[in-house]
């Protein structure tokens, strides 16, 4: 049974499920679901100056209280709330910004409540807007879950998967496994956003971010897929010239290479019993790129203090020696992050699980499990 569509292209019921619904002035089209999330149909409704809405690419008109048009406007409202911008929501929906503004204004008029606080830089939800957002998300999640139950095991993950991660970690621990992942899921295309800076998942359209260290953003949901420890390392030649430290305080006056995070040198942290030992070492090389730091350490320029995975292969090969291991701080998480309130698409779920299974077999990525 082919699905029926209302004027916005939202199916009145999934194919082969449920009774035939009455046609409401709509048109047939392709399924308006994409990897577990509702996708906007070309027949996006534009708000009229009245209480109703009219289609821009389909014939007919829906009544103001029709259930089909509410779902499309609800989806658009969620996009505005998630991006904090009418223009970004319009871009994501492939419609004009004026269309978004008119539909949100019509929604507020119909509900009799202001949903957004508008400033020159950003918009945010009012109390009524947050309540409507929570309810709207439950509606979308229920649709997602229904589709997942019906299609589980029938449709393989597919489409573009956008992943944000740091350059060095991706090169050492993600790229080597990518051929196997793509062999298992040939219909997935992986788009890597490479940066040591934290990506804006919603604003940049990122499905998944691999984050090293504790989660600082409460708007994100983290799944731990590994754990790592800091390692303090130097070449054998460096240690012959400068001596091997026996306590973290010995390092303060030694030449070091230091990671720069958001323009500031990152302090080195150790643990001495129950006491934390934190200081900024004497840096001879600074960089915001982990590969440059590793290269500087391997060339004997200075001592390094970074996540152990960066130096693990060099330690095993004898190119570097680890010191002060007994003073290393506790393990920290390696996490897969997704925006809160969003159902993770299937392609992101399988990629997260794939990395989790791979990392558990790698000693330097399985600390603190």
138: nearest Cα among 337, 340, 348, 341: 341
What per-residue confidence (pLDDT) applies to 2? 44
What per-residue confidence (pLDDT) applies to 148? 64
In angstroms, rounded to a whole number, what is the distance separating the alpha carbons of residues 195 and 147?
35
In angstroms, rounded to a whole number, what is the distance separating the alpha carbons of residues 369 and 365?
9
In angstroms, rounded to a whole number, what is the distance separating the alpha carbons of residues 202 and 208?
10
Is residue 299 predicted with pLDDT exceeding 70? yes
| 186: confidence class by pLDDT, cuts 50, 70, 90 | very high
In angstroms, rounded to a whole number, what is the distance separating the alpha carbons of residues 328 and 270?
5
Please tell me which of 79-83, 95-99, 145-149, 171-175 the model is most confident about, judged by mean pLDDT: 171-175
What per-residue confidence (pLDDT) applies to 58? 38
For the segment 93-120, the average pLDDT, to the nearest whole number, is 90
For the segment 299-311, the average pLDDT, to the nearest whole number, is 97
In angstroms, rounded to a whole number, what is the distance separating the alpha carbons of residues 21 and 328?
64
For the segment 280-303, the average pLDDT, to the nearest whole number, is 96
SS (H, E, C) 32-62: CEECCEECCCCCCEEECCCCCEEECCCCCEE
Give residue limits of the domains in the chain.
Answer: 33-151, 159-225+333-365, 230-327
| 200: confidence class by pLDDT, cuts 50, 70, 90 | confident
What per-residue confidence (pLDDT) applies to 160? 94
- Per DSSP bridges, beta strands 230-234 and 188-194 are unpaired
- Residue 226's SS3 state is strand
Fold of 230-327: D-Maltodextrin-Binding Protein; domain 2 (3.40.190)
- Higher per-residue confidence, 11 vs 368: 368
- Higher per-residue confidence, 270 vs 338: 270
- The phi, psi pair for 264, rounded to 5°, reads -120, 140
- Higher per-residue confidence, 203 vs 132: 132
The architecture of the domain spanning 33-151 is: Orthogonal Bundle (1.10)
In angstroms, rounded to a whole number, what is the distance separating the alpha carbons of residues 228 and 308?
7
In angstroms, rounded to a whole number, what is the distance separating the alpha carbons of residues 314 and 31?
51
For the segment 337-350, the average pLDDT, to the nearest whole number, is 84
What per-residue confidence (pLDDT) applies to 45? 39
Single pTM value for the model: 0.60
- Tell me the pLDDT tens digit for each residue of 319-328: 999 999 999 9
Gap between the terminal Cα atoms of the chain: 49
Task: Report percent pLDDT > 70 for the chain.
Answer: 77
Is residue 84 predicted with pLDDT exceeding 90? no
What does the buried/exposed string (b/e) look like for 219-241 if buried means 16 or more CB atoms within 10 Å of the residue's CB? ebbbeebbbbbbbbbbbeebbee
What per-residue confidence (pLDDT) applies to 287? 95
Average pLDDT of the chain to the nearest whole number: 80
In angstroms, rounded to a whole number, what is the distance separating the alpha carbons of residues 208 and 212?
13
Q: How far is CA 153 from the centre of its chain?
A: 25
159-225+333-365 shares its CATH topology with 230-327:
yes
| 31: confidence class by pLDDT, cuts 50, 70, 90 | very low
| 284: confidence class by pLDDT, cuts 50, 70, 90 | very high
- Residue 135's SS3 state is helix
- Tell me the pLDDT tens digit for each residue of 36-74: 343 443 334 333 333 333 333 333 333 444 444 788 899
- Per DSSP bridges, beta strands 37-38 and 45-47 are unpaired
What per-residue confidence (pLDDT) applies to 303? 98
Least confident of 81-85, 166-170, 250-254: 81-85
Is residue 105 predicted with pLDDT exceeding 90? yes
- Specify whether the CB–CB gap between 268 and 276 falls below 8 A: no
What per-residue confidence (pLDDT) applies to 333? 93
What per-residue confidence (pLDDT) applies to 88? 81
- Higher per-residue confidence, 87 vs 177: 177
CATH number of the 159-225+333-365 domain: 3.40.190.10
In angstroms, rounded to a whole number, what is the distance separating the alpha carbons of residues 86 and 166?
30
For the segment 267-279, the average pLDDT, to the nearest whole number, is 94
For residue 184, the tally of other CB atoms under 10 A from its CB is: 12
Least confident of 139-153, 205-219, 280-294: 139-153
């Amino acid at each position: 049974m082919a699905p029926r569509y209302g004027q916005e292209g939202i199916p009145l019921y999934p194919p082969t499920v449920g009774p035939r619904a009455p046609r409401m002035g709509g048109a047939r089209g392709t399924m308006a679901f994409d990897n577990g999330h509702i996708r906007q149909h070309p027949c996006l409704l534009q708000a009229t100056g009245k209480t109703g809405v009219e289609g821009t690419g389909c014939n007919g008109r829906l009544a103001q209280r029709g259930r089909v048009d509410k779902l499309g406007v609800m989806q658009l409202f969620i996009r505005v709330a998630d991006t904090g911008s009418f223009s970004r929501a319009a871009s994501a929906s492939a419609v004009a910004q004026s269309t978004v503004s008119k539909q949100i204004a019509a929604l507020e008029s119909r509900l009799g409540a202001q949903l957004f606080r508008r400033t020159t830089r950003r918009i945010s939800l009012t109390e009524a807007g947050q309540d409507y957002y929570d309810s709207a998300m439950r509606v979308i999640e229920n649709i997602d879950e229904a589709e997942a139950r019906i299609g589980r095991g029938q449709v393989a993950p597919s489409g573009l998967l956008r992943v944000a991660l740091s350059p060095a970690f991706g090169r050492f621990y993600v790229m080597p496994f990518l051929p196997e992942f793509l062999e298992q899921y040939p219909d997935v295309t992986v788009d890597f956003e490479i940066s040591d800076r934290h990506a804006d998942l919603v604003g940049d359209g990122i499905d998944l971010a691999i984050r090293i260290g504790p989660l600082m953003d409460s708007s994100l949901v983290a799944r731990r897929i590994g754990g790592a420890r800091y390692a303090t390392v130097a070449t054998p030649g460096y240690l012959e010239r400068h001596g091997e430290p026996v306590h973290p305080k010995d390092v303060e006056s030694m030449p070091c290479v230091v990671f720069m995070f958001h323009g500031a040198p990152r302090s080195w942290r150790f643990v001495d019993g129950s006491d934390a030992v934190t200081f900024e070492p004497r840096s001879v090389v600074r960089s915001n790129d982990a590969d440059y730091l590793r290269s500087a350490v391997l060339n004997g320029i200075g001592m390094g203090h970074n996540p152990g995975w960066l130096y693990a292969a060099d330690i095993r090969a004898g190119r570097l020696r680890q010191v002060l291991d007994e003073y290393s701080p506790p393990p920290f998480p390696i996490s897969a992050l997704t925006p809160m309130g969003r159902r993770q698409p299937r392609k992101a779920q399988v990629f997260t699980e794939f990395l989790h299974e791979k990392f558990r077999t790698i000693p330097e990525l399985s600390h603190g499990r």
